[in-house]
A and B are shown apart, each in its own frame.
Chain A
Amino acid sequence: MSISMALLSPTTHLPTLSPSSSHFKPLLTHKPFLSLRPKNHPLFTIRASAENGAGALGSVATAVEPKAEPEVPVPAAEAVPVKSESSAGANGSPGTAEEVSVVNLFEDGRWVNGTWDLKQFEKNGKTDWDAVIDAEARRRKWLQDNPESSSNGNPVSFDTSIVPWWAWIKRYHLPEAEILNGRAAMIGFFMAYFVDSLTGVGLVDQMGNFFCKTLLFIAVGGVLLIRKNEDVENLKKLLEETTFYDKQWQATWQEETPASSSKKK
């Protein structure tokens, strides 16, 4: 039943997608399609049924469709505007004896020979690293949902270390750092005012006091470690996890009954 539905859906959905693809123009052409995709957890079970039935039907549409039931735009989305949808059909030739593992491969004009062609990411004469990061995230997301067979023919060699360190810092560290510093400054100002109003000790004298220095340490540590509400729970779980394995090893030393005739040192 899933297969018959599968045969129907491409025809109903694809036409609606192609005109809309022309509306979304920015350099991140793939984003809108991927954002339409709902969660697809039944990935594995759907794929299993595809393989069972796909022995007889060896085309891409049927294999991709069950996988893409919740995410039909996939074949259209990944066909870069340059290519047409028929290319999706072209690369889906099954040929194996045991399993028909027909997968839609990751296709992108800028992905050449297992790595991103940085020349295609140029903006104003310099490589637009943000776009490279976005493209890589999209590729990994695609592969997460549609795992590909590793082949010796086209090995992947893109490494995140290709993107220079300052690009990462500028885009991801600095905004977060700004937020954290802002929080620390607000907490600091109000704590200093509060302590001053209670004890009359000014800011400079507060810095000389041990108790105040401890409070400062706790405030800074708190701002760094607890950034979201979930972090409190996460930290507790992390602490428990780090000591869990050790506890399992020590368990044999823990169990000592008073009547036992053995004693370790």
Chain B
Amino acid sequence: MASATQATLSLFAAPLPAKPRSLTIRCLKSTTRTTNPPIVGRKLRAAVIGAGPAGSSAAEALAAGGVECFMFERSGPSTAKPCGGAIPLCMLDEFDIPSHLIDRQVTRMRIFSPSNLAVDFGKTLLPHEFIAMLRREVLDSYLRTRAQSRGANLISGLVTDLEVPTSVDAPYVISYTADNKRESLAVDVVIGADGANSRVSKSIKAGDYACAIAFQERIKLPDDKMDYYQDLAEMYVGNDVSPDFYAWVFPKCDHVAVGTGTVCSKQDIKVFQRAIRARAHSKISGGKVIKVEAHPIPEHPRPTRVRGRVALVGDAAGYVTKCSGEGIYFAAKSGRLCGEAIVKASEGGERMINEGDLKREYLKEWDGKYITTFRFLDLLQKVFYGSDAAREALVELCGDEYVQRMTFESYLYKKLADGNRWEDAKMVLNTVGSLVRCNILGKKMQGLKL
């Protein structure tokens, strides 16, 4: 294998022309990509570290575009990931996910305020609309297999290091362990899709981000209690269950996942978990805990998402929305966008690409498309998750049908739902009104403490 690596490395040494400076300065002035040097004798080689939704989508886009692609995945195909497992409708369409993978179609959502005011979401859903709940291992292996069928090569192994080249034309060398053997692979481009504790991001010194911790217990319920959660997911807000996020009871294939999350009080997560079990007590009592899991969830993008010819996608880049903590769709979409960007910039694997290409084709596109969504959800989280009073206001507002319709449409289709200006104005007034009223009550409550 040493000779094999030497051979691959030599493959790199020969064809790349040594014309760094002048070429790239020309890149500055011209906007066409034809200034990238063509690769002779082989296609552009890309490595995708991590083969979850982000990695698989990136690999699929790369392979379909003609780029030679290697996926690295350390877990086996049936490892369950600690995850909500909910995906929006648009993902089913955009990623052609067959319906037999879907465990449950959630059409009702119930949200509970700190004072247990319960509001039912979902009255406005059309018959064909639902939130799909899947098992992550099922979805991930489907996407992975599909990427493989398009031509991506899957390497089951753990990536231990990514060596960043010191000169512009040298390749990136990935050291990995597969079948108890240490190997390495030299590639031109790397896509880091390896999740919240990304190794790639450490290697390129992409910086750190604040993480929330999501903790959940999978509980198997007796049949009659499970029926209640047939197509219903629940969300609980309150300082007792989470000081800055929400707690949930989500139905999965044959059990429910009861969990909570927090950013600022990670050490109290078990306390919050106990609290959510208490809040949902009457509905989950008698159940048996079959698994306990926790995972970090990024709160915001990393300071650097592209460096050299390495791009981060999915959780590694920090594409998780605030307020709802949704990450699967954005992971898959960013993976696909990045893969397509590389294909376009390299003209189907024929040319080398550079950092500018990645930033222009992938980052700029991504930011342009989704930054408003992320900003808006951040605003919602700041306004409504800050205090119990604000959470009460949130639940009150959710009772309004227009709000429900807008929320679901934006969630299911990832597009700003177009509403009625008049209703929008009413919604804003109602928001202000609810916030004012609940804050007044909140101030009274504080007064009572003394």
Give chain A's interface residues, CB within 8 Å of chain B: 31, 34-35, 37, 39, 44-45, 47-48, 51, 95-99, 101, 103, 133-134, 136-141, 143-144, 147-153, 155-161, 163, 165, 168, 172, 241-242, 245-246, 248-249, 251-255, 260-265
Would you list which residues of chain B between 214 and 241 have a CB under 8 Å from chain A? 228, 236, 238-241
What residues of A have a CB within 8 angstroms of the CB of B112 in the complex?
A: 150
The reply to whether B28 and A263 contact each other, CB–CB distance below 8 Å, is yes
Task: Using known A-B contacts A98-B285, A147-B114, determine if residue A245 contacts B375 with beta carbons closer than 8 Å.
Answer: yes
The number of chain B residues touching the other chain, given as a range, is 35 or more
B271 nearest CB neighbor, chain A only: A44
Identify which of B64-72, B414-422, B431-439 touches chain A: B431-439
The reply to whether B448 and A141 contact each other, CB–CB distance below 8 Å, is yes
What residues of B have a CB within 8 angstroms of the CB of A37 in the complex?
A: 449
| 5 A-B pairs closest in CB distance | A262-B356, A261-B24, A262-B355, A137-B444, A149-B281
Would you list which residues of chain B between 272 and 306 have a CB under 8 Å from chain A? 274-275, 277-283, 285-286, 289, 300-306
Choose from A31, A152, A245, A261 the contact partner of B168 (Cβ within 8 Å).
A261
Supplied contacts A163-B437, A255-B303, 18 more A-B pairs, CB within 8 Å: A97-B286, A140-B388, A141-B445, A147-B114, A147-B240, A149-B278, A150-B280, A155-B118, A160-B392, A160-B434, A160-B437, A161-B396, A168-B436, A172-B440, A248-B301, A252-B363, A261-B168, A261-B354
Q: List 29 A-B contacts (CB under 8 A).
A: A48-B271, A99-B277, A133-B444, A140-B388, A140-B445, A147-B114, A147-B240, A149-B278, A150-B279, A150-B283, A151-B282, A151-B283, A156-B115, A156-B116, A158-B117, A161-B396, A161-B434, A168-B436, A168-B440, A248-B209, A248-B303, A249-B374, A251-B303, A252-B306, A252-B363, A254-B303, A255-B304, A261-B27, A262-B354
Choose from A35, A248, A263 the contact partner of B450 (Cβ within 8 Å).
A35
A38 nearest CB neighbor, chain B only: B449
Choose from B117, B354, B379, B444 the contact partner of A159 (Cβ within 8 Å).
B117
Choose from B277, B279, B300, B444 the contact partner of A249 (Cβ within 8 Å).
B300
The reply to whether B304 and A140 contact each other, CB–CB distance below 8 Å, is no
* B48 CB, nearest partner CB in chain A, Å: 20
The reply to whether A264 and B360 contact each other, CB–CB distance below 8 Å, is yes
What residues of B have a CB within 8 angstroms of the CB of A151 in the complex?
A: 282-283
* B374 CB, nearest partner CB in chain A, Å: 7
A134 vs B303: C-alpha distance when bound (angstroms) = 48
A248 vs B209: C-alpha distance when bound (angstroms) = 9
A101 vs B279: C-alpha distance when bound (angstroms) = 10
Task: Using known A-B contacts A249-B374, A252-B305, A264-B364, determine if residue A143 contacts B440 with beta carbons closer than 8 Å.
Answer: no
Task: Using known A-B contacts A140-B114, A141-B448, determine if residue A251 contacts B388 with beta carbons closer than 8 Å.
Answer: no
What residues of A have a CB within 8 angstroms of the CB of B96 in the complex?
A: none
Choose from A44, A96, A140 the contact partner of B268 (Cβ within 8 Å).
A44
A177 vs B13: C-alpha distance when bound (angstroms) = 76
A160 vs B437: C-alpha distance when bound (angstroms) = 7
What residues of A have a CB within 8 angstroms of the CB of B24 in the complex?
A: 261-262
What residues of A have a CB within 8 angstroms of the CB of B241 in the complex?
A: 147
The reply to whether A264 and B359 contact each other, CB–CB distance below 8 Å, is yes
The reply to whether B445 and A51 contact each other, CB–CB distance below 8 Å, is no
The reply to whether B116 and A140 contact each other, CB–CB distance below 8 Å, is no
The reply to whether B118 and A160 contact each other, CB–CB distance below 8 Å, is no
Give chain B's interface residues, CB within 8 Å of chain A: 20, 24, 27-28, 112, 114-118, 168, 207, 209, 228, 236, 238-241, 268, 271, 274-275, 277-283, 285-286, 289, 300-306, 322, 354-356, 359-360, 363-364, 367, 371, 374-375, 378-379, 382, 388, 392, 396, 399, 433-434, 436-438, 440-441, 444-445, 448-450
CB within 8 Å: A-B pair count = 174
* A264 CB, nearest partner CB in chain B, Å: 6
A262 vs B375: C-alpha distance when bound (angstroms) = 27
A150 vs B283: C-alpha distance when bound (angstroms) = 9
A4 vs B275: C-alpha distance when bound (angstroms) = 24
What residues of B have a CB within 8 angstroms of the CB of A160 in the complex?
A: 392, 396, 434, 437-438, 441
* B230 CB, nearest partner CB in chain A, Å: 14
Choose from B168, B302, B382 the contact partner of A241 (Cβ within 8 Å).
B382
- A99, A254, A263, most chain B CB atoms within 10 A: A263
What residues of B have a CB within 8 angstroms of the CB of A161 in the complex?
A: 396, 433-434, 437
A177 vs B179: C-alpha distance when bound (angstroms) = 74
A264 nearest CB neighbor, chain B only: B359
The reply to whether B354 and A249 contact each other, CB–CB distance below 8 Å, is no
Task: Using known A-B contacts A137-B444, A152-B283, A251-B207, determine if residue A144 contacts B114 with beta carbons closer than 8 Å.
Answer: yes
Task: Using known A-B contacts A144-B388, A241-B382, determine if residue A39 contacts B449 with beta carbons closer than 8 Å.
Answer: yes
What residues of A have a CB within 8 angstroms of the CB of B437 in the complex?
A: 160-161, 163, 168
* B232 CB, nearest partner CB in chain A, Å: 11
The reply to whether A137 and B396 contact each other, CB–CB distance below 8 Å, is no
A39 vs B446: C-alpha distance when bound (angstroms) = 11
What residues of B have a CB within 8 angstroms of the CB of A31 in the complex?
A: 448
Choose from B238, B354, B449 the contact partner of A147 (Cβ within 8 Å).
B238
A62 vs B375: C-alpha distance when bound (angstroms) = 47
What residues of B have a CB within 8 angstroms of the CB of A155 in the complex?
A: 116, 118
The reply to whether B448 and A35 contact each other, CB–CB distance below 8 Å, is yes
- A44, A155, A160, A246, most chain B CB atoms within 10 A: A160
What residues of A have a CB within 8 angstroms of the CB of B228 in the complex?
A: 152
A205 vs B362: C-alpha distance when bound (angstroms) = 59
What residues of B have a CB within 8 angstroms of the CB of A51 in the complex?
A: 274
A98 nearest CB neighbor, chain B only: B285
